[in-house]
Each structure stands twice: as C-alpha cells, then as structure tokens.
Chain A
Amino acid sequence: MRIKCPYCGERALEEFTYRGDATVTRPKSLDPAAADAWVDYVYLRDNPSGLHKEYWHHSAGCHSWLVVTRNMSTHEIVSVEFAGKGDSQ
C-alpha cells in the first residue's frame, strides 16, 4: 500500500502514521449533557467493509494531516486530500 501525499507525491506506507476514522465529528460542547456525543466520537464506529475515510499523518514526510478514502476490502486508495483547508497552499 502506497499513499499519494498531495504535497510530496506517492510515498511508502512506513512514512505515514494512522490516526483512524475521519467520519466522526468531535463535539463542540464540553457540557456533561453532551457525554453521549463524546462517547460516540471517541469509541463508536461504523466499521464499513467498503469505502471509508480515515486520517493519516505524513509523519516521516511533510507532516500534513491527510484524509484518505480507501476501500477496506481491497486496500485501493480512491482519493487523498489535506485534512485542513489551510494546508492546501
């Protein structure tokens, strides 16, 4: 598996660090009433077998945070984008 970093180009897997599911949303509220939303964000996963979005860090490269869309059953990578809009310049 090789990941095509939008900044550095295609690089080997060992340059990247996996963070995990990019489809969950960090709750904005720190209110105790938002506890369920935090459990959802930290622990609960859809765990699909087809296409999935996930965060990878190009830790041995340009240090960009990336959103990789990858097929969980074939490892085919469909797209790689910068996670933060400000990184794209």
Chain B
Amino acid sequence: MTRERIGLFAAYGLEVEYMLVDGDSLDVAPAADALLESVAGELTDEWQNGPVAWNNELALHVIELKCNGPRASLAGLRLPIESHSVQAFVTEGVKPVIDVVMTFGAGHFYVSQSDKGGLVFGGDIEGYNSYAQRGNLPVIEDVCEGGMALMPVIGRLRILRSWGGLLDMTMDGSPIIDLTPIQGLYLNAGWCYGGFKATPASGFCFAHLIAKDEPHKLAAAYRLDRFARGAVIDEKGMGAQPNLH
C-alpha cells in the first residue's frame, strides 16, 4: 500500500483528531472524561442523550456528538440551508504583484498571491444546488470579467487549475449558531462562502452555547428560528434564496 499526501481541503469526510493537553508538560488533560462523568454520574466513554450520543472517541479527546446509526434526517429536522458550489482558480507563478487580499465588491471578485507566485482568485457562487465539487463555464467567464474590470494587468496570465468547493448556503446569507429542537444537538452551520476568519469568534460563541444552553450575546441574532420570526439578517435585502447573496 502506498501512502499519498492529501493537501488541506483536498479531501472531504476525513476527521482530524487531537487531544487536549497541558500547555507546559504536554500531559493529556482529562477534560472530556470529566465532562462525561459529570453528566453520566460515572466514568464512561459514552453518554446517550436522546438520538444523539456524546462520545469520547479517542482517549481524553474532545467530546464528539454523533447520531446513533445512519439517519436520512435527524427527527425531521429540516434547515434553511442548501449546498452550493463555488470555484477558485490559480494562475501560473509570477513575480510579486499583489501583497494584500483584494476584494472587488461591486463585481464580486477577490484575488491574492500565493507564496509560489500564483494568483489565487474567485468570485460568485455557481447559483444552483450542487454537491459535485466542481462548477461550470459561465461562472468562470463571469469571474474572469470581474478580474479584468478590477486589474487588466492580469489579463495575459494563464490559469493552471480550478476546483469547486461546497458551501452551506443559508437563505439569508448569514450563519446559524443555535440550539436545535433535538436535545443535545447544537448547530454551528450555514457559513456560506465566508466564515474562515470568523472561526475563533464563532467557536467561542458556540462553546458558550453548549456550556450554558443559551446563545452568547455576540451570536444572539444568529438563531435558527429567525426565519420563522421574520428576523432574518438582511445583509443586502436581496431575498430568501441562496444565490442572491
């Protein structure tokens, strides 16, 4: 069997596991064991909480929440989320030309330059539901038009490769950090085509939600029921459809 290196974001469905350790000694910290013992009343590696199990999968690992068996849906839970695709592109390497991440809001194009010199850029989502991890030609044309409008200097660069990634698009273009109707199941989803830079803050708010069973004040607007309440987070007033955001 040959081993193959897989780059970050190149594979889906792989789980990265790590242990909580003491910062000085690197001794494993039994935080997950302590939490499971506090809810189950005895030392255990798993606690059943309705249709969801809290599991200490790897020794003294962080807690993993999982379904008890394959499910088509979780107790009829339907979400205001659709899976869409967005493409990204890399050009051949050139000398330093861009030292920032540049965003062109009016045309929707963004570009940065990698350490190897290639320009990395993208733009609008494909606009239709997809799990295919690839896109189609019309959006490539649209993205390149946006690039040419912003900086015609890149017009003669050749594109080396492109790929499509999945996006969990909500109906108002903003994420959801909230409890669900299923006890023990928490939701931090719908980050659309953003969210990478928000990860520390969203993780902090999500931890607060799980620990206290109520939203952190910074995430108080990101409720699952905001759609039913008419309290959608209206970024542009575009409407209830993922490809409008």
Interface residues of A (CB under 8 A from B): 1, 12-14, 18-21, 35-36, 39-40, 42-47, 49, 52, 54, 72-75
Cβ contact within 8 Å between A73 and B137: no
Q: List 14 A-B contacts (CB under 8 A).
A: A1-B136, A12-B138, A18-B128, A20-B129, A21-B82, A21-B129, A44-B227, A45-B80, A45-B82, A46-B73, A46-B78, A54-B129, A72-B130, A73-B131
Q: Across the two chains, which residue of chain A brings its CB closest to B137?
A: A13
A21–B78 Cα distance when bound, in Å, is 14
User: Which DSSP category, helix, strand, loop or mixed, fits chain B's interface?
Assistant: loop
> Are A18 and B78 also in contact (CB < 8 A) when A43-B227, A73-B132 are?
no
A68–B241 Cα distance when bound, in Å, is 18
Judged by a CB distance under 8 angstroms, whether B240 is at the interface is: yes
Q: Across the two chains, which residue of chain A brings its CB closest to B240?
A: A42
Q: How many A-B residue pairs have CB under 8 A?
A: 63
Point out the residues of chain B lying under 8 angstroms from A19, CB to CB. Answer: 241
A75–B128 Cα distance when bound, in Å, is 10
Chain A min CB distance to B242 (Å): 8
> Are A39 and B228 also in contact (CB < 8 A) when A46-B78, A47-B83 are?
yes
Number of interface residues of B (CB under 8 A): 24
Q: Across the two chains, which residue of chain B brings its CB closest to A49?
A: B131
A74–B227 Cα distance when bound, in Å, is 31
Cβ contact within 8 Å between A72 and B83: yes
Chain B min CB distance to A82 (Å): 19
User: Which DSSP category, helix, strand, loop or mixed, fits chain A's interface?
Assistant: mixed
Our pick among A39, A40, A47 for the contact of B129 (Cβ within 8 Å) is A47
Cβ contact within 8 Å between A47 and B79: yes
Cβ contact within 8 Å between A74 and B132: yes
Which positions 29-79 of chain B face chain A at CB distance < 8 Å? 73, 78-79
Cβ contact within 8 Å between A43 and B171: yes
A54–B141 Cα distance when bound, in Å, is 24
Cβ contact within 8 Å between B138 and A14: yes
> Are A35 and B136 also in contact (CB < 8 A) when A43-B171, A49-B83 are?
no
Annotate B114-131 by CB proximity to A: 1 below 8 A, 0 otherwise: 000000000000011111
Point out the residues of chain B lying under 8 angstroms from A47, CB to CB. Answer: 79, 81-83, 129
Chain A min CB distance to B232 (Å): 9
Chain A min CB distance to B61 (Å): 29
Cβ contact within 8 Å between B80 and A43: yes
Point out the residues of chain B lying under 8 angstroms from A45, CB to CB. Answer: 78-82
Point out the residues of chain B lying under 8 angstroms from A1, CB to CB. Answer: 136
